[in-house]
Structure 1
Amino acid sequence: MIPIDSSPIVNFFLGLVAIGALVYSAEKIVDKILKISRHFGISELFLGITVISIGTSLAELTTTVMASIGILKGTISYEVGSGAILGTNVGSDLIQLTFITGIVAIFGVLIARKDFLKYTFSVMIAAEVLLLLFCLDGVVTRQEGFILFFGYLIYLIILYRRSKPVKTTKKEDVQLSKEIPLVLLGFLVLVIAANYILDISVYFVGVLGIGGSLIGALIIGVATALPEFATAMTGLIKRCPQVSLGTLVGSNITNPTMVVGLGALISTLKVPWPTKVLDLPYTIFSALIILGLFWSGERIDKKEAIFMISLYIIFIVIRLKFFAVD
């Protein structure tokens, strides 16, 4: 736990500093990984779906592992810990899918080919549906966590075999002994910055008197989605839209499978009522709508981007008004 100042004003400005560190490190990560990909001929789409997505999901992963260990040790109640885990991961997925993807589409062009929609976007929806099925009985067991976690590993193997190397006319000289440590350092900064923003968010939530899985869905989930947002925007700036979309969709495969699966493997998870009746169904509903938008035109225009953002705003209103209590 990173120490938090007692002054709301100080915490606000420290949060801005953390966000700056987040964006800067994300930019450096994209630079370094794209260099490495060109050196080895690895596709940018594969990197966006796997390496970058897993790296930017480290905040969710760290929160999940710490909460699950806390449940086992008895330092965190089963209900609160489970609510934080599921609320954070599902909340992070939803904001990435709707609000963040919409923001990225407003500032650039997001293109999704039919094969991407068939083999990647559809896998994301299937992952959310599978998690919802496991949540319906009120508990995600260790056996179900095993299926989620190792199902993700199988998906990575299949994805790697399908991924085609990038054909480059000029091989870029890369000092791996220098670039790889810088990538790892960048991921470390991402995690530290995201966790600090997370702590700041929890502090302000405490001041406002909000509790339960609502914190995970609307506060922690938003904070832990910031690395994906920063990396996706940087990919857009670098004229690599596949990295942007691959990062967002890839993270939405990583969170409900690998991250939640690992949490369930450690401690099992008790499912809050709002998670299974609103959060997950609404995420799946939004994903199907966005799939339809991409399928019809293979891209998201400005009007559709605004519509995607409105989906998240509607969710916030419903969550606060009708599902504030677990």
Structure 2
Amino acid sequence: MILEILLFILGLVILIKGADWLVEHSSHFARALGVSPLIIGLTIVAFGTSLPELIVSLFAAIKGNADISMGNIVGSNIANIGLILGISALVRGLKVQLSTLIYEMPFLLVSAFLFMLLSNDNNLFSHNGFSIGRIDGLIFLVIFTMFMIYTFKSAFEQRGKSLKKYTETIKKRTTPEKKEKLSKDIFFMLLGLAALIIGGRILVDAAVKIAQSFGISEAFIGLTIVAVGTSLPELMTSMVAAWKKEADIALGNVIGSNIFNILFVMGITSLIKPLNVNPSILFVDMPVMILFSIGLLFFLTTNRKLTKWKGAVLLIGYAGYIFYLISGL
């Protein structure tokens, strides 16, 4: 048992470090090529902080541990709002941009409702029982692609630059002097990806053995320990951003990551390996995820600020959810 716990911690550390390397050096690489910091934040940061969820969910699905895979995604989205934004708001109140309210938050809610709907379609696409199949995964990825196209288009328009100008900038900045630094960034990007794969494999194997040893469900492990563990990159990013008064990053990281988890992570995972959905996750945990999303929208629309007391409410709500899960063991 001690060995499994140590392996779980080791896998988690490798996972987080891999994400850190990938995000940091992808950012360096993008900046060296003259890519907008806004685009870096909307893509690389959101992608990087969600990579642990992607790797863990993918490995769990391939190994036949659907409850860990599904629980990880749903649990991470709940933790991102209740735990991470709760703590971030307590560190410093977060002001909200209007665009977040009229675009990102509604998109998050639509994604969450769609996730539950497709899990509950019950043979709509020739499923057996409650499941997320390949067609569902394809739907998620198509919507995700539309979301990213709109995001990139908005980013370019806000900066008043065309894609052609960015292409010209990239050609100018890719000088021989910078090739060595670019090579270093590429090396650490690949190293980070390798660490994510190895760490994810170790973490999933250890989590399954821990669940079996204690006689607790894989769904519980996925919704709690694995979910919080894979959300640590989001936690660190949002906490630091809140402390530095970067509210857009703190909020955007969580909202974007939740959208990413549903549309991209679940899309890729189910496209590779269709997943059966545990009725408990479908009828209890998914509604909780949606409830937290609606609660966040309500908090953000009042005075367009996530104050400390609102953060405390989110934390209390998350603690109540965890208590409910533990009481059901």
- Name the TM-score, length of structure 2 as normaliser: 0.78
* Residue from 192, 209, 220 that aligns with 1:214: 220
Tell me, in whole angstroms, the C-alpha distance in 2 between the residues paired with 1:134 and 1:28: 35
* Partner AA of 2:257 in structure 1: S
Tell me, in whole angstroms, the C-alpha distance in 1 between the residues paired with 2:244 and 2:191: 21
Tell me, yes or no, if the aligned pair for 1:233 and 1:244 is still in contact at 8 Å: yes
Residue 160 of structure 1 corresponds to which residue in structure 2?
Answer: 152
* Residue from 56, 61, 85 that aligns with 1:63: 56
* Partner AA of 2:326 in structure 1: L
Deviation at 1:263, TM superposition (A): 2.3
Change in Cα spacing, 1:298 to 1:202, as seen in structure 2 (3 Å) is: farther
Tell me, yes or no, if the aligned pair for 1:87 and 1:213 is still in contact at 8 Å: yes
Tell me, yes or no, if the aligned pair for 2:59 and 2:204 is still in contact at 8 Å: no
* Partner AA of 1:153 in structure 2: T
Tell me, yes or no, if the aligned pair for 2:26 and 2:189 is still in contact at 8 Å: yes
Deviation at 1:23, TM superposition (A): 6.3
Tell me, yes or no, if the aligned pair for 1:23 and 1:227 is still in contact at 8 Å: yes
* Residue from 131, 139, 145 that aligns with 1:147: 139
What do you get for the CA RMSD once the two structures are aligned? 3.2
Residue 73 of structure 1 corresponds to which residue in structure 2?
Answer: none
Tell me, in whole angstroms, the C-alpha distance in 1 between the residues paired with 2:272 and 2:13: 33
Tell me, in whole angstroms, the C-alpha distance in 1 between the residues paired with 2:264 and 2:16: 25
Greater mean deviation of Cα atoms: 103-112 or 291-300:
103-112
In the alignment, structure 2 segments of 5+ residues that lack a partner are: 123-129, 161-172
Residue 226 of structure 1 corresponds to which residue in structure 2?
Answer: 232
Greater mean deviation of Cα atoms: 16-25 or 174-183:
16-25
Residue 299 of structure 2 corresponds to which residue in structure 1?
Answer: 293
Change in Cα spacing, 1:241 to 1:23, as seen in structure 2 (3 Å) is: farther
Number of corresponding residues: 304
Tell me, yes or no, if the aligned pair for 2:237 and 2:253 is still in contact at 8 Å: yes
Residue 163 of structure 2 corresponds to which residue in structure 1?
Answer: none
Deviation at 1:273, TM superposition (A): 0.9
Residue 105 of structure 1 corresponds to which residue in structure 2?
Answer: 89
Change in Cα spacing, 1:27 to 1:214, as seen in structure 2 (3 Å) is: closer
Tell me, in whole angstroms, the C-alpha distance in 1 between the residues paired with 2:136 and 2:8: 37
In the alignment, structure 1 segments of 5+ residues that lack a partner are: 1-6, 71-75
- Name the TM-score, length of structure 1 as normaliser: 0.79
1:258-305 CA-partner distances (Å, limit 9, x unpaired): 111222222322111111111111111111111111111222222111
Residue 4 of structure 1 corresponds to which residue in structure 2?
Answer: none
* Partner AA of 2:149 in structure 1: I
Residue 51 of structure 1 corresponds to which residue in structure 2?
Answer: 44
Greater mean deviation of Cα atoms: 302-311 or 35-44:
35-44
Tell me, yes or no, if the aligned pair for 1:26 and 1:234 is still in contact at 8 Å: no
* Partner AA of 1:115 in structure 2: S
Residue 268 of structure 1 corresponds to which residue in structure 2?
Answer: 274
Tell me, in whole angstroms, the C-alpha distance in 2 between the residues paired with 1:22 and 1:107: 26
Deviation at 1:108, TM superposition (A): 3.1
Deviation at 1:184, TM superposition (A): 4.5
